[in-house]
Amino acid sequence: MPGKDFRLYRYRWVVLGVFMFVNLTIQILWICFAAITGPAASYYGVTDLQIGFLAMSFMLVYIPLSIPISWIIDTYGFRKAVSAGAVLMGVFGLARGVFASNYSLVVACTLGIAAAQPFLLNAITTVAARWFPVDERATASGLAMVASFLGIAAGMVLTPILFLQYGIGAMLLIYGGVAAFSSVLFVVLSREAPPTPPCEPGQEERALMLDGLKNMLKIKEIWFLLFLFLVGMGVFNGISTWVEEIVRPRGFSITQAGDLGGFMLIGGIAGAAILPALSDKYRNRKLFLLLGMTMSIPGLLGVTFAASYGIMAASMSMLGFFMMGLAPIGYQYAAEITFPAPEGTSNGLLNLAGQASVVFIFSMEAFKSPDGSFTRSLLAFVGLMVVCVFLIASLRESSLIKAQIADQQVVENTPQSG
């Protein structure tokens, strides 16, 4: 229960809400070409790989920008940093719609949007720490991830519909307008921090960014998490980027491809809402990380071999629920085991590993079978996920979670006066 030195403010949900909105819209801008790879390649007169590059560019741009932007978030606050990213997103999102008929200008505008992404992604745990108590932070991070998954699902499902009805130009202009609107809302409604801390004294204190980075790289669990995010985001980004090509040899249409990508995202939305909340409720990070990775493996096997639309949809949903449901728990676990390193630093480091998965995405295209199948690449991902299961099993539980459990036990065992 909050005491006299700290309290919770209802406005935290407004701040989280506008933060979720900008994260939702940038994911639409990222993934919008994935479900129409073939038709977009024909429209621009380029190859499938060049259309795939529009999504992969987000990861390529993220890699050099991640650590500097984490420093900006930790030094100047998430409100200024995310506002800068939101403005970049809105301006270049609208510009991409205006110049939608020219592939070179679309690439240039996409690079501008990509530069905005780390300002948003790297602030997830910082927003949670500024406004939420420890036992709500995984939930808050999970809701931010839900927004990202909603954006990707919207991009997967709506893009084929908008493309078939209005064409690429109008589709990109609509998306750019939504991005600009969300950026204005964030700039107007967000706040850096509440008047008083939302947690016990000491839980909000953080070290300097460079000191925190140096110390966290000495922690074994961080290296395991980096590998986990590299593999997990490799699976997610790879399937999201190549979804239309993955299902094309099995006879599915672009609309079905978009729907299948949507099923994975709907599963991810449910997982990111449910699993972090359960992790907070039962005060356990390791167990839920292990559960998520283990149960993702059957889902990916289904995606690899399913020939029917129903089994494919079920497999996509299962993979999304467990694979993406563990991501916000991983963010929060990293923030807790690296305390007092800044949240933006651990958040950015994990995202850096995730975005480095662009290597896997290029490899998937390079090693696909002559008939266009991605079976070999998907089976390689299954093997890497098995390795992740063993790594998670060797993790230690979060010290902040253990301290919270110990404090609760003290309260329960203390005789009540009166």
pTM equals 0.70
> Which range, of 56-70, 177-191, 326-340, 375-389, averages the lowest pLDDT?
326-340
Q: d(Cα 183, Cα 19) in Å, to the nearest integer?
A: 9
pLDDT at 90 over 50: yes
Could you tell me how far CA 361 lies from the centroid of its own chain?
Answer: 16
> Which range, of 204-208, 322-326, 396-400, averages the lowest pLDDT?
204-208
16-20, 59-63, 274-278, 329-333: range with highest mean pLDDT: 16-20
Q: What mean pLDDT is predicted for residues 225-232?
A: 91
Q: Would you say residue 285 lies in a domain?
A: yes
Q: Would you say residue 396 lies in a domain?
A: yes
Which pLDDT value is given to residue 208? Answer: 44
User: 6-25 pLDDT, tens per residue?
Assistant: 678 889 999 999 999 999 99
Which pLDDT value is given to residue 205? Answer: 45
pLDDT at 187 over 80: yes
Spatial contact of 320 and 267, defined as CB atoms under 8 Å apart = yes
Q: Would you say residue 418 lies in a domain?
A: no
pLDDT at 401 over 80: no
pLDDT band at 396 (very low <50, low <70, confident <90, very high): confident
Q: How many domains does the chain have?
A: 1
Sequence-separated (6 or more) residues with CB below 8 Å from residue 100: 106, 168, 169, 171, 172, 173
Task: Give me the percent of the chain exceeding a pLDDT of 70.
Answer: 88
pLDDT band at 414 (very low <50, low <70, confident <90, very high): low
Q: Would you say residue 109 lies in a domain?
A: yes
Name the burial class of residue 370, with classes exposed (0-12), middle (13-18) and buried (19+) by CB atoms within 10 angstroms of its CB: exposed
Q: What mean pLDDT is predicted for residues 147-171?
A: 88
User: 308-333 pLDDT, tens per residue?
Assistant: 999 999 999 999 999 888 888 888 88
Selected residue with higher pLDDT from 313 and 38: 313
Q: What mean pLDDT is predicted for residues 205-215?
A: 55
Name the burial class of residue 109, with classes exposed (0-12), middle (13-18) and buried (19+) by CB atoms within 10 angstroms of its CB: buried
pLDDT at 216 over 60: yes
Which pLDDT value is given to residue 2? Answer: 43
Which pLDDT value is given to residue 3? Answer: 44
18: Cα within 13 Å, side-chain hemisphere: 22
Q: d(Cα 132, Cα 217) in Å, to the nearest integer?
A: 26
Q: d(Cα 305, Cα 70) in Å, to the nearest integer?
A: 40
Which pLDDT value is given to residue 210? Answer: 54
Which pLDDT value is given to residue 402? Answer: 62
DSSP 342: -
pLDDT at 174 over 50: yes
Q: What mean pLDDT is predicted for residues 327-349?
A: 76
pLDDT at 343 over 70: no
Q: Which domain holds residue 339?
A: 11-191+204-406
User: 293-304 pLDDT, tens per residue?
Assistant: 999 999 999 999
pLDDT at 140 over 90: no
Buried b (16+ CB within 10 A) or exposed e, 48-82: beebbbbbbbbbebbeebbbebbbbbbeebbbebb
For helices 103-121 and 48-76, the axis angle rounded to 10 degrees is: 30
Q: What mean pLDDT is predicted for residues 190-204?
A: 71
pLDDT band at 251 (very low <50, low <70, confident <90, very high): confident
pLDDT at 203 over 50: no
Selected residue with higher pLDDT from 232 and 373: 232
Q: What mean pLDDT is predicted for residues 215-234?
A: 86
Which pLDDT value is given to residue 410? Answer: 53
| CATH number of the domain where residue 51 is located | 1.20.1250.20
Which pLDDT value is given to residue 66? Answer: 83
Selected residue with higher pLDDT from 111 and 256: 111
98-102, 125-129, 156-160, 360-364: range with highest mean pLDDT: 98-102
Rounded to the nearest 5°, which phi and psi values hold at 220? -55, -45
Which pLDDT value is given to residue 415? Answer: 62
Q: What is the mean pLDDT of the chain?
A: 84
DSSP 122: T
Q: d(Cα 64, Cα 60) in Å, to the nearest integer?
A: 8
